[in-house]
Amino acid sequence: MLKAVIVDDEPKAIQSLIWELGNFKDEIEIMQSFTSPEDALKYLALNTPDCLFLDIQMPTIGGFQFLEQLDDINFAVVITTAYDEYAIKALKHDAIDYLLKPIDSDDLRDTLSKVKKHSNRQFSISKLENMLLNFNSKFDKKRITINTDGKLLFLDVDDIIYVASDGNYSTLFLKDEKKIVVTKKLKEVDAILPEHYFFRIHNSYIINLGKIKAFIKNEGYVVMDSNHKIPVARQRKSDFLEKL
């Protein structure tokens, strides 16, 4: 049974969608519906549906702006709109589908099929990733598993020089000037990396302690083997010195 959340500033539009979804009551249930995007954001911070039906044109927070304010989108997003012009933009925001108002029952059936496939795929990837992460954390302290671009990468920690934050993304800087971008916040990457080898030296950076070339005390930064200069946060300096 799929679980869904609806966000639309028009109560009649919500009622109409709930009525249409009633034709598929054995397949999907509504967890909550919201006319306030702000309330919906608070709810989604604590609850994870399988699917979000999201209106685009809302007066306080537009649909695309709403998606940008979510920390993690680990559910299927279906855009609902009265304007066909938003379709391409919706797909660029990783929506799996869009429904044109008034919503057609056959279109909704096709959308629910896509949601099911998305949900099963996400579960499989998540289950496999967690299994591999647990395996690596127990048996191989010098390798980590990273999920990126639809594939699982197995990295030797010796190959990672440092990690930089970019909001909801993190970039791993490797030997030979290679980079890997992952859809994880820095704190999530930090949880994967073995503590013995890595240190979060700044809110925006994690460094490999074995890849430090120099520590410039007066100016408050380290020089890595790649010659990149990484700032040392003042509040982390004493902990960093204890690690050296």
CATH of the domain at 114: 3.40.50.2300
Last residue of a domain, one of 102, 127, 152: 127
Strand partners, 79: 54, 98
The pLDDT value recorded for residue 68 is: 83
Last residue of a domain, one of 84, 106, 127: 127
Residue 119: per-residue pLDDT: 73
Per-residue pLDDT reduced to its tens digit, 10-37 = 999 999 999 999 999 999 999 999 999 9
Residues 12 and 119 in one domain: yes
Please tell me the total count of domains within the chain. Answer: 2
**pLDDT value at position 147?**
73
* 76-81 sheet: strands from edge to edge: 28-34, 2-7, 51-55, 76-81, 97-100
74: domain range? Answer: 2-127
Within this chain, do residues 233 and 200 fall inside the same structural domain, yes or no? yes
Is 135 a member of any domain? no
- Residues 69-103 have pLDDT tens digits of 887 788 999 989 887 666 656 655 567 888 888 89
Q: Are residues 30 and 113 in the same domain?
A: yes
Residues 6+ apart with CB under 8 A from 174: 155, 159, 160, 161, 180
Q: Are strands 212-216 and 221-224 parallel, antiparallel or unpaired?
A: antiparallel
CA atoms of 211 and 197, how far apart (whole Å) = 10
Q: pTM for this one?
A: 0.52
Q: How many CA atoms, within 13 angstroms, populate the side-chain half-sphere of residue 188?
A: 18
Based on the fold, state whether residues 110 and 47 are members of the same structural domain: yes
